């Protein structure tokens, strides 16, 4: 902490602009990088690393399995186990078969023989026999291990010439010795070499992968955090649980209100109420349709009547404008329509006129109309 009393200040926004452009550039750069060859190359490298670490894991697992078998069945010392690992690596490179296949075969033989040296010898023999017979190494190793404990049938099935043999393994060795080395394909050797290289790369990455996994599953790690979240959601005492509970209560209340509303129409049964509401709505719809069907021709008829009145075909139409009559031209006549010129009716009409108008015009005449 320090105290600063500014005496003179400067304005310079180039730093802010640079920071902003740098950030924009970073975004553009990231976008470009994501679509670039470098990114795909990096992804490939990542994939290779993952493959390598997987291969290393598998190799580690098979090695540990074999070592435990040698320890338990052949009472192998640490030094013997170390030498055996070297033997497997050398053999794998010589015959072009990956160590992950050799180790289970040797484990099988070690279980039968109870000796590291014997299992190594039989493994070599199994490899030669496999190369000659074309059968998988696992099957041959199985047959050899059974033969070692006295069950010769499987081995004789593979090599019928051994049926009369008194020393199975010596005779088999005479038949097949060196076949594996002879038939070792250079490409298989290359594959083994590449596989070993991949495993070595994987071994260098493996500690980091294991460390990552340990951290992931360690107490308080990511897995725990996710689990904790779900636990919290389920626990109404936590904030997450409270929020989730409130949400659930709101949803529950809304659903209940809707159910109650429908129950009114179903005498307490919301489902029946819903059905009734649907029926009512359906009936209302039908009634509305009928009304509409009735009103439509009525409207058409009314319009026709209106048109007829307008055109004068029917009474009740709009009155024609009355012509204006000037006072000078007004006729001093009273026209009385009486049937058959009844004098009483004429007098009555005139009297009415006088009552209404207060007198008769100066000069007027009666016109007789009708019969």
**Which residues are at the interface with other proteins (CB under 8 A)?**
1-16, 18-19, 219-220
Give 82 or 215: the residue with its C-beta nearer to other proteins.
215
C-beta separation of 66 from 103 below 8 A: yes
Nearer to other proteins, 5 or 363 (CB): 5
Closer residue to other proteins, CB minimum distance, 13 or 319:
13
Shortest Å, Cβ 223 to other proteins: 14
Give the residue carrying structure tokens 């992968």.
209
Token pair listed for 368: 């007789």
Nearer to other proteins, 4 or 298 (CB): 4
Q: At closest approach, how far in Å is the CB of 240 from other proteins?
A: 15
- Least Å distance, CB 16 to other proteins, is 6
**Closer to other proteins at the Cβ: 22 or 248?**
22
Would you tell me how many other CB atoms lie within 10 Å of the CB of residue 147? 21
Q: Is 249 exposed, middle or buried (0-12, 13-18, 19+ CB in 10 A)?
A: exposed
Tell me the C-alpha distance between 199 and 34, whole Å: 29
Q: Nearest approach, Cβ of 225 to other proteins (angstroms)?
A: 11
Distance CA 199, CA 103 (A): 15
For the CB of residue 53, give the shortest distance to other proteins in the complex, in Å.
28
Minimum gap (Å) between residue 110 Cβ and other proteins: 46
* Alpha-carbon gap, residue 218 to 213, rounded angstroms: 8
Kindly tell me the burial class for residue 2, based on how many C-beta atoms sit within 10 Å of its own C-beta (0-12, 13-18, 19 or more): exposed
- From CA 345, how far away is CA 351, in angstroms rounded? 10
Unique residue bearing structure tokens 């994939």: 47
Identify which of residues 14 and 292 has a Cβ nearer to other proteins in the complex. Answer: 14
């Amino acid at each position: 902490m320090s105290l600063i009393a500014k005496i003179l200040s400067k304005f310079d926004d180039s730093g802010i602009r640079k920071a902003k452009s740098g950030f924009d550039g970073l975004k553009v750069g990231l976008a470009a990088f994501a679509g670039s060859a470098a990114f795909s190359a990096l992804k490939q490298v990542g994939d290779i690393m993952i493959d390598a670490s997987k291969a290393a894991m598998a190799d580690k697992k098979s090695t540990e399995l074999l070592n435990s078998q040698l320890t338990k069945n052949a009472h192998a010392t640490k030094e013997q186990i170390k030498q055996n690992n070297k033997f497997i690596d050398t053999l794998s490179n010589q015959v072009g078969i990956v160590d992950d296949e050799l180790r289970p075969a040797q484990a099988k033989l070690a279980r039968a023989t109870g000796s590291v040296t014997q299992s190594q010898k039989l493994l070599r023999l199994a490899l030669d026999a496999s190369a000659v017979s074309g059968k998988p190494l696992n099957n041959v190793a199985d047959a050899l291990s059974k033969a070692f404990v006295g069950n010769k049938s499987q081995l004789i099935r593979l090599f019928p010439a051994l049926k009369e043999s008194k020393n199975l393994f010596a005779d088999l060795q005479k038949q097949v010795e060196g076949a594996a080395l002879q038939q070792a394909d250079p490409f298989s050797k290359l594959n083994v070499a590449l596989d070993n290289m991949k495993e070595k790369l994987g071994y260098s990455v493996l500690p980091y992968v294991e460390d990552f996994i340990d951290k992931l599953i360690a107490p308080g790690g990511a897995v725990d955090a996710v689990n904790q979240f779900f636990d919290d959601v389920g626990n109404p005492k936590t904030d997450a649980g409270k929020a989730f509970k409130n949400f659930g209560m709101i949803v529950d209340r809304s659903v209940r209100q809707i159910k109650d509303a429908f129950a009114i129409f179903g005498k307490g049964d919301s489902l029946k109420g819903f059905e009734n509401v649907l029926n009512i709505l359906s009936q209302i719809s039908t009634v509305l349709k009928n009304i509409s069907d009735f009103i439509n021709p009525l409207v058409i008829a009314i319009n026709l009547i209106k048109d007829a009145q307008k055109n004068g075909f029917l009474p009740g139409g709009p009155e024609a404008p009355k012509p204006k009559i000037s006072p000078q031209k007004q006729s001093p006549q009273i026209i009385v329509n009486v049937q058959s010129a009844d004098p009483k009716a004429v007098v009555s009409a005139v009297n009415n006129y006088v009552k209404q108008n207060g007198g008769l015009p100066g000069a007027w005449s009666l016109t007789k109309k009708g019969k």
